[in-house]
Chains A and B, each alone.
Chain A
Amino acid sequence: MTRPNPRLRALFLGAGYAFLYVPILVLMVLSFNDSAMMTTWTGFSLRWYHELFADRALLEAARLSLIIAAFTATAAVVIGTWAGYVLARMGRFRGFALFVGLVSAPLVIPEVVLGISLLLMFVELSDLLGWEGSNGAFTIWVGHVILSMAYVSVIIQSRVRDLDRSLEDAALDLGASPVKVFFQIVLPLIAPALVSAWLLAFTLSLDDVVIASFLTGPGHTTLPLEVFSRVRLGLKPEINALATLFMLLVAVFVLIANRVQNRRGYSA
């Protein structure tokens, strides 16, 4: 059995993971530091957590972000799954290359490009329709859905491809119409991937700064926007507390997604 060199392996993986996690760990440790200064440890304290939960503006922004994220994830999963299924099962159709291009564009395009495009569209739309309303949660939601659906379709498309096609054929053969086949056979079998995709879309929405900046309106500050405006000027200890909580939340998500995907491992 050919095995890679264990010493090299330990070196590269060790250094790589250290690089990835040192900043995260630093933040976590500092969030419990009594001192506001980064470089001196004056004692274990939860004061920054207290300050965090007393911070109205931040909590309000967090609430908005969570709501938008939930709606984003749900919409992104619906549209992204549809797009992913089309990519995986519809074979080559007219405009296939364009379709692939459009679906995967948000994955690569710089976010500022997406941001300005969508904002301009909303501006023109409101101009055309005489729509008075200003931007806000709705427009941010649309932008986030566009962004996340790309990730969702990649995940779903890959999962559907791995699905044994004869299962769908068998269902058709037994009298189920194509729509029924999708809902009764395909969907249950890709459910774990749907969960992962939902969670990913959720975190993407929760974290977005650029698109939200372009598409937000007065009174609609998302959590990242709030954090961004504060940290541009320097360090803020309550942000450390926020970061720690956030990372724990994501860790839980990732572990859930992982358990779900591994447990219902149907060999389909």
Chain B
Amino acid sequence: MLDLRQVSKYYQTRTGSRQVLNNINLRVSKSERVGILGRNGAGKSTLIRLIGGSELPTSGTIERSMSVSWPLAFSGGFQGSLTGLDNLRFVCRIYSVSYSDVVPFVEDFTELGRYLREPVKTYSNGMRARLAFALSMAVDFDCFLIDEVLAVGDANFQEKCRQELFVNRKNRAMLMVAHDASMIREHCSRACVLENGVLRNFDDVNTAYDYYHDELRSSNTRYSLSLSVLEHPTTNAINTLLENTNITSLNSDTDQLGPNMSFDNQNERIVTAFYRQLLGREPDAIGLRTHSNWMQQHGGEDAVQDLLKMFLANDECRQYLARQDMSRLVGLSAEKAQAFDSIVSLGTHCYTATFLKRFQLKKFSSAFDWIFSNPSMIAHVIDDDFETFLDATQYSPVPIEQRRDGTDVNRVQHSYYKQAHGVDFMFNHHDVHEPKDYAYLTRCVERFRSALRDNAKTLFLLLRRETEHSIREFELIRDALQRKNEDVSFMFVAVANTPTHTGVARMDVLARDQNAVLSRFSGTSHWRTLDFVDPFDEFCLLRAILSNFSPTSKPN
């Protein structure tokens, strides 16, 4: 068994101490295969090094009651002037393995022939990889650590590695780390997602995968910057930005960042760093182009400073940074742990899911997270148990020129729900004609169903603009939910159209029935459907929601 308890890791950088891993808990039992998904810079390699034992955690404990390999496919560790066999001899000595026993295997596996007696510095990358892999297979570990391994070498070599690892050693434990999910989906029984140094455990690979996939798309990444950067947009601040984003290692990630994300030049790197650090998201194609062109034209050191000032003057940036600071101040973690295992969005647009994500309350991707819907449609979908919802014959693609909000959104119409319930561009973000996206949708539906069916502590949440029909909408959805599960917890928050003028946000309960609550929320500022003008309103909203369900004030 491998047991990590509250493991944290800090590194010293020029601009101070930087947290890479935050309170990680992970347990891998004998012959279990666990995958860890995470973007570059998420802390994967650090985690693997800590587990491998080549570095020590700043705090927390790592217990190994089985032998754990060093991180596989790491192609360093060779002394260039030594021969392949000398390197093997060294590994054999430190792991007390008989050298003569393993030489035949290494010769056979690497197919390096006489090169094994030549210095490693004369090897090509492929040859090094073969040797590295063979060395780690020569020692009989109980648990293998695999760091993006099988991406090297030709198909033949990859097949051999696969055979050795997953067939010949199928009863060994494995911990696999990757930014690309395909290996993990193929070989692991369980997966975790590592984002910003926080590890989330999931029971099965697909749930983790969908969560990770959403994460990549909306990339609500948290960095350690704070509002103080607004006051001092210095070179130091810029260096922090660039360093923390791990931007130099991004190239291998391009396939995941979309077609617009190949870094042609340094400007694009800087712009991307600014987007991630100051807006907490990946740049959109237009933004990336505009800003890097702007930098191209201005040039020089000042351009970076000026760009930073432009970003800092931007409202989205101020909001994002304010949210970071407040998150730290308010420290919501204690509250969120109490009442529910998970909170699931019911639509009716992306805000509910976005809101949950911002406060790290979103545990998995579910059916209504990223689609357009309305109350009558939601009720129908639940009554219908998603049958019409998943009926692929109802899907019709939206031609690009008819997309209202941009070419990457408004993707697919659902004919029935458009006609009968007036929902336009239902599948806004996913092209459900694609088998990949359809499979994602099916899994999301399955998770929603089981959340509703099981008596797990799930809160179904809907944040929606207040209308004169709010009470009817609330009843419609509540009844549909209760027909499936009498004990369901449901909360409908109608966000008022006009802010309060008292300088304090306000939440009123309009209706309450068993575990279903309809509330009216008015912030101190306008709600812009995806955020409030004043980000503090969002905190008030969150606290108001949670206080409704805290153990002391729990209804009935």
- Asked if A and B are interacting partners, one says no
Interface positions of A (Cβ within 8 A of B)? none
Interface residues, chain B, CB within 8 Å of chain A?
Answer: none
